[in-house]
């Protein structure tokens, strides 16, 4: 094997020299601006950096590769970016290069000792590279040889279902559509994606309840809302541009209620970095009410809100009668719930829950609920999100302006990738459309999601792993188990821009296929081309790279997919792959034939700002789910650690984008120069004899098995008793592969049962 067992798949466990500072109470402001500039000019160089930033999120520019937060519909300021967008651009436009000479110098074993930060700092990949069986170093390979090798390996499989085709949410619509077409033409639906680990629970819950798996609000709705409930989301770090919209909403009179175990800086206050007020250090107070819920206590809290609506008789009976079914059962269930239990499971007093419920019910426009990973990555995630939907249905807070459901997406095109058919179980109508548009038999049996793909590779039937972007090893749970799964493959392939740990743990053969980043110009058929993406609010728009590619040897994602497909399918191809990708208008023409809402795609996407996709739930059209929205009644559930055990969430620091580590600080939480930390309630630390900022070992417990992560520094933090937090990917080794959400199968990265003890010696 190319990556022997003695190469660790985990980030190295050395400490980097922590500096503990004060926790911040407001986000952004001048430090954020100076930080952006430092990041961008530090690594890209002044000219390339300025050029990139001035095109970011502009009409004729490129979409920010960071989060999926939308741009304003009707205007653009000169600086439509945030600090973390700037970090993403800096990381992509860096002048440093990972060349064949780099790989000659560093063996795979040596690179395994690098931190994720060091790997990102190494720079952009420049050439296709191969790690052959028995080799200690990657070597250069030609594109043709790489594609032929993939084709040969895939065609040697006993069944197309032995291939696993992962997608990360940065892939554009065109790349994603071609990819799923190739994979289905090849004969399988094994299309796991990062969404499986992300908002799958939101999609699953909303599809069942309201027939649409996407948010129902626009940016304007949010900015004109009366009440905004933000649950399980840290916008100050992960969606900084959302703060400008929240500020507008607050200035227009909105009340924000935040639900989170941690008092995140972006929830409590905001200093607009582009306004004079923000420049001189005056913050807008954001959340009026802060509910410091226990980890995984949200379902109880939400049931408490729903119970209050019934007790107060503030429900919209007319809306319920016209638009929903299932309410009577839910009403009886809520009546039977006992307030003491709701209080103890959520950790929130009845009076506070009632106050929140009354705020949501007040006013004409009711409420918008925004949520992210704090709700989706728990065992009862789908049930919890359906409680959110139930509250909206009870208030009639759907299908009207300034009200609705807003699952805030992560990756910049994760929503678009799903629209394009990247999903292991696309509905039948999509498959029918594919069959109508192309001449091949579309496989109808469901494929593997992320968890099942890992197990299949571990247990045998999964043999070739192909990733369109992402960092599968570090993004997935149970690092040691997943590493073994990847090692057992015959071939692992990564289409990517930067070096990451997934390149270290390979199958018998490992391939790195470097591609253009978002910011880079894609010149073909005589001119620069654009690609398209869909943001968190269902707006499809152009993204046109502006900079020279990092290396002349890079190919675009659509071209890599097309050439993989051509080399694999040969005569079986349902389209002429090479011809298709000479001009992306041709790809958009075929998308239009398959995906609803994309009529006149090429014409409409050329309009400034693009177009909105239809959203049945926003129109109160329930025809897709039998004529009514459905109110689901779930028993109250919550992970209950035993005595001495704690609950751990794994989340993001301010200096990372998922597995890409831009820096070692978590400025808002007061952590400098260290990632191996665990935030704990001070009393929980005392009870265990753990002193502040001293090393601890963490053990997770699931169905009798334990997993260990050693050497973390314990940080006393304002958290509910029993709740702790550590960064991913360092803590992923603790997340058990078999611990996932009901229905959506999303790994339970936010509720890992652990014990913590002081490290020996």
Binding residues vs Mo ion (CB under 5 A): 198, 410
Residue 484: CB minimum distance to Mo ion, A: 24
748's contact among Mo ion, ligand MGD, none, with CB below 5 to 8 A by partner kind, is none
**CB-facing half-sphere around the CA of 162: CA atoms within 13 A:** 16
Pick from 36, 57, 180, 237 the residue near ligand MGD by CB under 6 A.
237
Closer to Mo ion at the Cβ: 198 or 698?
A: 198
- The 3-state DSSP class for residue 212 equals coil
Q: Is residue 479 at the binding interface for ligand MGD, with CB under 6 A as the rule?
A: no
- Contacting residue, 356, 357, 434, 496, with ligand MGD by CB under 6 A: 496
Sign of CA dihedral 381, 384, 388, 394: positive
Q: Are 233 and 411 in contact (CB under 8 A)?
A: no
Backbone angles phi, psi at 431, to 5 degrees: -65, -40
Shortest distance, position 734 Cβ to Mo ion, whole Å? 19
**Chosen from ligand MGD, Mo ion, none, partner binding at 374 (C-beta under 5 to 8 Å by type):** ligand MGD
- Phi/psi at 230 (5° precision): -115, 110
* Pairwise CA distance, residues 310 & 373, whole Å: 28
Which option in Mo ion, ligand MGD, none does residue 185 bind, with CB closer than 5 to 8 A by kind? none
CB of 239 to ligand MGD, least distance (A): 6
Residue 466 DSSP code: E
Phi first, then psi: give them for residue 342, nearest 5 degrees: -60, -40
The whole-angstrom separation of Cα 114 and Cα 73 is 43
Among 191, 210, 475, 580, binds ligand MGD (CB under 6 A): 475
Phi, psi of 199 (to 5 degrees): -100, 20
Q: Which of 418, 498, 588, 628 contacts ligand MGD by CB under 6 A? A: 498
Between CA 44 and CA 50, with CA 49 as vertex, the angle to 5 degrees is 165
Give the position of tokens 């109250």: 636
Site for ligand MGD in 543-562 (CB under 6 A): 557
| Residue 84 or 573 with smaller CB distance to ligand MGD | 84
Q: Which helix (H) or strand (E) holds 219?
A: helix 219-223
Element (H, E) at 288: strand 287-291
Is the CB of 414 or the CB of 512 nearer to Mo ion? 414
In whole angstroms, the minimum distance from the beta carbon of 598 to ligand MGD comes to 22
Token match 């923000």: residue? 278
* Cis peptide leading into residue 729 (ω within 30°): yes
Distance between CA atoms of 564 and 542, rounded to whole angstroms? Answer: 25
Are the C-beta atoms of 296 and 378 separated by less than 8 Å? yes
**Least Cβ distance, residue 620 to ligand MGD (angstroms):** 28
Query: Any idea which residue has 């913050």 for tokens?
Result: 283
CB of 605 to ligand MGD, least distance (A): 19
Verify binding: residue 57, ligand MGD, rule CB under 6 A. no
469 binds, among Mo ion, ligand MGD, none (CB under 5 to 8 A by kind): ligand MGD
Pick from 115, 255, 482, 500 the residue near ligand MGD by CB under 6 A.
Answer: 500
Find which of ligand MGD, Mo ion, none residue 261 binds, CB within 5 to 8 Å per kind: ligand MGD
Q: Is 293 in the site for ligand MGD (CB under 6 A)?
A: yes
Can you point out the beta strands (E) in 611-704? 611-612, 629-630, 646-651, 656-657, 660-661, 671-672, 677-680, 695-702
Question: What are the residues whose beta carbons fall under 8 Å from the beta carbon of 649, sequence distance 6 or more?
Answer: 261, 295, 374, 377, 723, 724, 725, 726, 749, 750, 751, 752
| Side-chain half-sphere exposure of 191, counting CA atoms within 13 A | 28
State in angstroms the smallest separation of the CB of 477 from ligand MGD.
Answer: 6
Q: How far is the CB of 657 from Mo ion (least distance, A)?
A: 10
Concatenating the DSSP letter of every residue in 471-510 gives -HHHHSS-HHHHHHHHHTSSEEEEEESB--GGGTS--SEE
**Shortest Å distance, C-beta 710 to ligand MGD:** 17
- Closest residue to ligand MGD: CB criterion: 410
Separation between Cα atoms, residue 142 and residue 98, nearest integer Å: 16
Nearest to 459 by CA among 480, 488, 479, 483: 488
Binding mask 297-336 for ligand MGD (x = CB under 6 A): -x--------------------------------------
Distance CA 317, CA 395 (A): 9
**Residue 300 CB, nearest approach to ligand MGD (Å):** 11
Q: Binders of ligand MGD among 687-746, rule CB under 6 A?
A: 728, 732, 735
Query: Could you tell me how far CA 243 lies from the centroid of its own chain?
Result: 19
Q: Tokens 């809520």 appear where?
A: 334
Q: How far is the CB of 418 from ligand MGD (least distance, A)?
A: 12
Binding partner selected for residue 535 from Mo ion, ligand MGD, none, CB under the kind-specific 5 to 8 Å limit? none
Closest residue to Mo ion in the complex (CB)? 410
- The residue (of 161 and 298) whose beta carbon lies closer to ligand MGD is 298
**Span 404-463, contacts to ligand MGD by CB under 6 A:** 410-411
Q: Is 29 exposed, middle or buried (0-12, 13-18, 19+ CB in 10 A)?
A: buried
467 Cβ contact partners less than 8 Å away, ≥ 6 residues apart:
166, 167, 168, 492, 493, 494, 495, 496, 502
The reply on whether position 497 binds ligand MGD by CB under 6 A is: yes
43 sits near ligand MGD (criterion: CB under 6 A): no
Name the one range near ligand MGD by CB under 6 A: 155-163, 371-379, 389-397, 687-695. 371-379
With respect to ligand MGD, which residue has the nearer C-beta, 611 or 740? 740
Residue 741: which of ligand MGD, Mo ion, none does it interact with, CB under 5 to 8 A by kind? none
Residue 237 touches which member of Mo ion, ligand MGD, none, C-beta under 5-8 Å by kind: ligand MGD
Answer left, alpha or beta for residue 249, where phi above 0 means left and psi between -120 and 50 means alpha: alpha
- Tell me the closest approach of the beta carbon of residue 478 to Mo ion, in angstroms: 18
Of these, 53, 64, 67, 111, which contacts ligand MGD (CB under 6 A)? Answer: 67
Window 629 to 658, contacts with ligand MGD (CB under 6 A): 649-652, 656-658
Query: 531 or 696, CB closer to ligand MGD?
Result: 531
Binder among 63, 200, 223, 264 for ligand MGD (CB under 6 A):
264
The window from 39-47, 93-101, 132-140, 514-522 that contacts ligand MGD (CB under 6 A) reads: 514-522
Stretch in the footprint of ligand MGD (CB under 6 A) among 44-52, 328-336, 515-523, 635-643: 515-523
Q: How many helices (H) and strands (E) does the chain have?
A: 31, 33
CA distances from residue 208 to 194, 334, 516, 617, 632 in whole angstroms, order as listed: 21, 20, 38, 12, 9
Instruction: Rule CB under 6 A: choose which of 168, 185, 532, 536 binds ligand MGD.
Output: 168
Q: How far is the CB of 299 from ligand MGD (least distance, A)?
A: 9
Q: Which does 150 bind (CB under 5 to 8 A by kind): ligand MGD, Mo ion, none?
A: none
Q: Which tokens sit at 678?
A: 């665990």
Cα-Cα end-to-end distance for the chain: 36
Assigned token pair, 533: 């993406």
Q: Whose Cβ is closer to ligand MGD: residue 308's or residue 732's?
A: 732
Give min distance, CB of 266 to Mo ion, in A.
17
Q: For tokens 């306004």, name the residue.
A: 275
With beta carbons less than 8 A apart as the criterion, state whether 592 and 598 touch.
yes
Q: Which residues make up the interface to ligand MGD (CB under 6 A)?
A: 65-67, 84, 168-170, 194, 197-198, 231-234, 237-239, 259-262, 264, 293, 295-296, 298, 372-374, 377, 410-411, 468-472, 475, 495-498, 500, 515, 517-518, 557, 649-652, 656-660, 728, 732, 735, 749-750
């Amino acid at each position: 094997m190319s990556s022997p067992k003695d190469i660790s798949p985990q980030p190295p466990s050395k400490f980097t020299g922590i500096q503990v500072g004060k926790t911040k109470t407001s986000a952004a402001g001048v430090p954020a601006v100076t930080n952006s500039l430092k990041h961008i000019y530090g690594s890209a160089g002044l000219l390339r950096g300025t050029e990139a930033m001035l095109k970011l999120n502009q009409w004729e520019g490129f979409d920010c590769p960071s989060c999926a937060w939308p741009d304003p519909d009707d205007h653009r300021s000169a600086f439509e970016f945030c600090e973390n967008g700037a970090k993403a651009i800096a990381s992509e436009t860096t002048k440093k290069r990972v060349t064949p000479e780099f790989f000659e110098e560093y063996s795979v074993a040596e690179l395994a000792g690098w931190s994720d930060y060091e790997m990102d700092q190494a720079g952009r990949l420049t050439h296709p590279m191969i790690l052959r069986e028995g080799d200690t170093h990657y070597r250069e390979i030609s594109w043709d040889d790489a594609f032929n090798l993939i084709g040969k390996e895939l065609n040697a499989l006993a069944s197309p279902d032995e291939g696993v085709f992962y997608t990360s949410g940065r892939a554009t619509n065109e790349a994603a559509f071609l990819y799923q077409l190739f994979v289905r033409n090849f004969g399988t639906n094994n299309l796991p994606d990062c969404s499986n680990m992300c908002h799958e629970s939101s999609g699953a819950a909303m599809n069942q309840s309201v027939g649409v798996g996407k948010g129902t609000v626009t940016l304007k709705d949010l900015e004109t809302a009366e009440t905004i409930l933000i649950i399980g989301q840290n916008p100050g770090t992960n969606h900084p541009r959302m703060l400008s919209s929240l500020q507008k909403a607050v200035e227009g009179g909105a009340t924000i209620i935040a639900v989170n175990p941690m008092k995140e800086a972006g929830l409590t206050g905001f200093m607009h970095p582009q306004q004079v007020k923000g420049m001189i250090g005056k913050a807008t107070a954001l959340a009026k009410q802060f509910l410091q819920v226990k980890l995984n206590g949200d379902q109880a809290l939400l049931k408490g809100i729903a119970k209050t609506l019934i007790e107060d008789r503030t429900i919209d009976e007319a809306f319920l009668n016209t638009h929903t079914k299932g309410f009577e059962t839910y009403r009886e269930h809520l009546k039977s719930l006992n307030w003491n239990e709701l209080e103890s499971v959520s950790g929130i007093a009845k009076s506070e829950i009632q106050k929140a419920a009354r705020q949501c019910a007040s006013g004409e426009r009711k409420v918008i609920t925004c949520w992210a990973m704090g709700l989706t990555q728990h065992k009862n995630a789908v049930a919890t999100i359906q409680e959110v939907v139930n509250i909206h249905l009870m208030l009639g807070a759907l299908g009207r302006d300034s009200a609705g459901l807003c699952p805030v997406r992560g990756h910049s095109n994760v929503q678009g990738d799903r629209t394009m058919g990247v999903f292991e179980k696309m509905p039948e109508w999509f498959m029918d459309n594919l069959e109508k548009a192309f001449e091949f038999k579309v496989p109808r049996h469901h494929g593997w999601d992320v968890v099942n793909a890992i197990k299949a590779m571990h247990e045998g039937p999964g043999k070739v792993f192909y990733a369109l972007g992402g960092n599968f090893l570090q993004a997935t749970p149970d690092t040691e188990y997943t590493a073994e799964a990847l090692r057992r493959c015959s071939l692992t392939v990564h289409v990517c821009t930067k070096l990451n740990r997934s390149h270290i743990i390979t199958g018998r053969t490992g391939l790195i296929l470097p591609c253009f980043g978002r910011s880079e110009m894609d010149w073909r058929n005589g001119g620069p081309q654009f690609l398209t993406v869909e943001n968190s609010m269902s707006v499809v728009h152009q993204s046109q790279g502006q900079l020279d590619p990092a290396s002349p040897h890079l190919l675009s994602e659509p071209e890599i997919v097309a050439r993989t497909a051509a080399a694999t399918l040969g005569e079986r191809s349902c389209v002429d792959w090479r011809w298709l990708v000479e001009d992306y208008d041709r790809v958009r023409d075929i998308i239009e034939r398959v995906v609803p809402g994309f009529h006149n795609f090429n014409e409409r996407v050329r309009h400034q700002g693009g177009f909105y996709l239809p959203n049945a739930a926003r129109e109160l059209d329930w025809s897709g789910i039998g004529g009514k929205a459905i109110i689901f009644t779930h028993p109250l559930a919550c992970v209950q650690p035993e005595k001495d055990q704690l609950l751990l969430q794994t989340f993001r620091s301010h200096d990372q984008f998922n597995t890409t580590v831009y820096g070692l600080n978590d400025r808002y939480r007061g952590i400098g120069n260290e990632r191996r930390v665990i935030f704990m309630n001070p009393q929980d630390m005392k009870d265990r004899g753990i002193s502040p900022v001293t090393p601890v070992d963490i053990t997770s417990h699931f169905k009798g098995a334990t997993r260990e992560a050693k050497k973390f520094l314990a940080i006393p933090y304002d958290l509910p008793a029993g709740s702790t937090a550590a960064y991913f990917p360092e803590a992923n080794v603790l997340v058990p592969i078999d611990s996932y959400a009901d229905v959506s199968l999303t790994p339970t990265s936010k509720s890992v049962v652990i014990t913590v003890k002081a490290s020996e010696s």
